[in-house]
A and B are shown apart, each in its own frame.
Chain A
Amino acid sequence: MAFTEDKLKKVQEIIARYPDGKHKSALIPVLHLAQEEHGGWLSSETMDYVASLLKIEPIEVYEVATFYSMYNLKPVGRYLFEVCQTGPCMVNGSDQIIDYIKEKLGIGVGETTTDGLFTLKTVECLGACGYAPMMQLGKHYREHLTKEKVDQIIEECRSKATSLN
């Protein structure tokens, strides 16, 4: 894998935020970029590439990538449903929402639909407790979830995927 010119420029911009010699600080933001570029997950080749970009050892990348929950170390579907299940969301019915998504998509937590479109992941508190139940989808939150809203979101993703193909 290799970044485009644009992405490489972005990496330089990130490195410039830190004092000279402190470019390792760019690791977490650059891993986010790499994950976006590489279909939403980090393969070992991707991590090695990031190590070479930042001139650090691959192990330094692996230890970070395995620590933070937003990095996916296995392939994920095009649309990743990250549903919060912590206390305040549970009180507002997140368990039922998770069950409904499982039923609707025919997958368990951590699994991907056979068409490669959807992955379901449960996550811990995302800071949307007042707007529960909720999930993260890409860059944004989907809040006040109901079964109807889940149906709509799934439809929306399917039609987006069709128009992209």
Chain B
Amino acid sequence: MGRKLLLEKAHVPGIRSYEVYRREGGYASVEKAFKHMSPDLVTEEVKKSGLRGRGGAGFPTGMKWSFLAKPEGVPRYLVCNADESEPGTFKDRYLMEFIPHLLIEGLIVASYALGSNRTYIYIRGEYAWIVDILEQAIAEANANGWLGKNIMGTGFDCQIYVQRGAGAYICGEETALIESLEGKRGNPRIKPPFPAVKGLWDCPTVVNNVETLAAVVPIINLGGEEYAKIGIGKSTGTKLISACGNINKPGVFEIDMTISVEEFIYSEEYCGGIPNGKKLKACIPGGSSVPILPANLLFKTAKGDTRIMNYESLSDGGFATGTMMGSGGFIVLDEDQCVVRHTLTLARFYRHESCGQCSPCREGTGWMEKILKNIEYGKGKKSDIDLLWDIQRKIEGNTICPLGDAAAWPVAAAIRHFRDEFEWHVDNPVESQSRNFGLAHYADPRPVPVTA
């Protein structure tokens, strides 16, 4: 049983209300920070904790905070990214829905560290009912003196506002989020300047994911060094994993990043194995944009080491034989699933969500969807597979924001590891309409061509 720092109290009856949350020890980190720590010391603790951004990129949070420019007389802003939209990812929703005060508490401490007097939670528009839950929690925090003017006599003022988006995956990219918060289309900005220098309304801004900000609470309570003792290497603390697809127990799990991928899928404590005695075919462990891995590469790295649920181990082998931790959106596919069809839904997703600013992404995502549709529906040619490969190569790295990469990677990895399934679709246009390729040899270890 791993240690729980975020969800430990999430199922205490009534924890959504302030009284119960407070009775269970809530807001202790605000008391500790405001009474005994300077803002810089809070940032120091976060640095020591080794916390890495939980939204997907995994950038060290303390370092991000220390980049924040602090020119005299210019307001600074903290924005919480609750635009969770990466397919497979639903962990932030869970945290906000079940234990909203944890996020509010983390936001207050982080606002204090960064000097943000107006802090915004930008939440995806579809999570409409969660807006009410958060606004209720904010109202309670205000009523109990944790927000407002001169909090706890420190002279620090802070207010938190919830801003609803309106349906756009791209607004999870921090500069697109800022544009959206300014009342514009979610078109990512060219960087530099980075938001730390010129962000919301051209002021220095930090944008952090929900889970990242919630993790500030245990970091302050335990101390950064204690927090860093949980986990392995540069994967410190705990991580929320939202597991879905063909598993017996889909849901959100908090793990300390020391368990193996195999244990995560098959143990009763987590996913509980695959339904109906089916075999594992493939897995996308970090949200739809990270590379899909066949079963043989998922449990062991190419070197033969056990693959662990953490940043380093999941990315072991690079994109040739590894994948990424990403957002922790863990999608499991069993032997009956078709990799071509699954990749097609992802390609359609990225075409739908491309903001249209950069030609490689705007045009390329559409082309990839069309070609995948042809292959899936028995109208593909062998040369289409090479064409797909070529298109994704021309998108990757050639766009303003990482959506282009996010669209290219799933297609690249599907071809890299499942090329014979694509070829089977092309060679068997009729048969492929009535049955799936199946497991084939993917369950057995086999050498993987290094094409990346």
Interface residues of A (CB under 8 A from B): 17-19, 22, 24-29, 31-32, 56, 60, 63-64, 67-71, 85-88, 90-92, 123-132, 136, 139-140
Contact present for A64 and B184 (CB under 8 Å)? yes
Contact present for A129 and B329 (CB under 8 Å)? yes
A24 to B179, CA, bound (A): 11
Contact present for B342 and A139 (CB under 8 Å)? no
- List of B residues within 8 angstroms of A63 by Cβ: 184-185
Contact present for B168 and A68 (CB under 8 Å)? yes
Q: What are the interface flags for B108-145 relative to A under an 8 Å C-beta threshold, 1 for contact and 0 otherwise?
A: 00000000001010001111110000000000000000
Given that A32-B125, A129-B242 are known contacts, is A87 also in contact with B87, CB under 8 Å in the complex? yes
Contact present for A87 and B346 (CB under 8 Å)? yes
- List of A residues within 8 angstroms of B348 by Cβ: 85-86, 124
A64 to B185, CA, bound (A): 5
- List of A residues within 8 angstroms of B331 by Cβ: 87-88, 91, 129
- List of B residues within 8 angstroms of A128 by Cβ: 90, 93
Question: 8 Å CB contacts to A: which residues of B151-172?
Answer: 161, 163-169
Contact present for B243 and A28 (CB under 8 Å)? no
Nearest-neighbour CB distance to chain B for A16, whole angstroms, equals 9
The chain B residue with its CB closest to the CB of A29 is B164
User: Which of A28, A56, A69, A125 counts the most chain B CB atoms within 10 A?
Assistant: A125
- List of B residues within 8 angstroms of A129 by Cβ: 87-90, 242, 244-245, 250, 329, 331
Nearest-neighbour CB distance to chain B for A52, whole angstroms, equals 15
- List of B residues within 8 angstroms of A26 by Cβ: 183
Of B181, B329, B345, which is within 8 A of A25 by CB?
B181
Given that A17-B161, A67-B185, A125-B349 are known contacts, is A91 also in contact with B246, CB under 8 Å in the complex? yes
A133 to B355, CA, bound (A): 26
Asked if B201 is at the interface (CB within 8 A of a chain A CB), the reply is: yes
Contact present for A130 and B252 (CB under 8 Å)? yes
The chain A residue with its CB closest to the CB of B252 is A130
Known: A70-B126, A85-B348, A90-B345. 11 other contacts (CB 8 A): A17-B163, A18-B118, A28-B125, A28-B180, A71-B166, A86-B345, A88-B88, A124-B87, A127-B89, A130-B250, A130-B252
- List of B residues within 8 angstroms of A88 by Cβ: 87-88, 244-245, 331
15 contacts between A and B (CB under 8 A): A25-B163, A25-B183, A28-B180, A32-B166, A64-B184, A70-B167, A85-B345, A87-B88, A124-B169, A124-B348, A124-B349, A127-B93, A130-B90, A132-B250, A139-B129
Of B85, B88, B128, which is within 8 A of A139 by CB?
B128
- List of A residues within 8 angstroms of B120 by Cβ: 17
- List of A residues within 8 angstroms of B180 by Cβ: 28
Question: 8 Å CB contacts to A: which residues of B215-245?
Answer: 242-245
Asked if B84 is at the interface (CB within 8 A of a chain A CB), the reply is: yes
- List of B residues within 8 angstroms of A90 by Cβ: 341-342, 345
Asked if B365 is at the interface (CB within 8 A of a chain A CB), the reply is: no
Question: 8 Å CB contacts to A: which residues of B232-291?
Answer: 242-246, 250-252, 284, 288
* Interface Cβ pair total, 8 Å cutoff: 143
Nearest-neighbour CB distance to chain A for B111, whole angstroms, equals 15
A70 to B337, CA, bound (A): 30
The chain B residue with its CB closest to the CB of A88 is B244
Contact present for B127 and A69 (CB under 8 Å)? no
Asked if B86 is at the interface (CB within 8 A of a chain A CB), the reply is: yes
A86 to B84, CA, bound (A): 15
Asked if B352 is at the interface (CB within 8 A of a chain A CB), the reply is: yes
The chain A residue with its CB closest to the CB of B159 is A17
A60 to B185, CA, bound (A): 9
A19 to B182, CA, bound (A): 11
Asked if B353 is at the interface (CB within 8 A of a chain A CB), the reply is: yes
A18 to B181, CA, bound (A): 10
The chain A residue with its CB closest to the CB of B337 is A91
Asked if B378 is at the interface (CB within 8 A of a chain A CB), the reply is: no
The chain B residue with its CB closest to the CB of A85 is B345
Contact present for B87 and A69 (CB under 8 Å)? no
A132 to B84, CA, bound (A): 16
- List of A residues within 8 angstroms of B118 by Cβ: 17-19
A-B complex: 10 closest residue pairs judged by Cβ atoms: A68-B166, A69-B167, A130-B250, A27-B183, A70-B167, A129-B244, A24-B183, A125-B87, A67-B185, A17-B161
Contact present for A70 and B166 (CB under 8 Å)? yes
Asked if B75 is at the interface (CB within 8 A of a chain A CB), the reply is: yes
Contact present for A131 and B250 (CB under 8 Å)? yes
A130 to B331, CA, bound (A): 9
A24 to B200, CA, bound (A): 13
Asked if B199 is at the interface (CB within 8 A of a chain A CB), the reply is: no
Nearest-neighbour CB distance to chain B for A117, whole angstroms, equals 21
Q: What are the interface flags for B313-350 relative to A under an 8 Å C-beta threshold, 1 for contact and 0 otherwise?
A: 00000000000000001010100010001100110110
Given that A126-B126, A139-B129 are known contacts, is A87 also in contact with B345, CB under 8 Å in the complex? yes
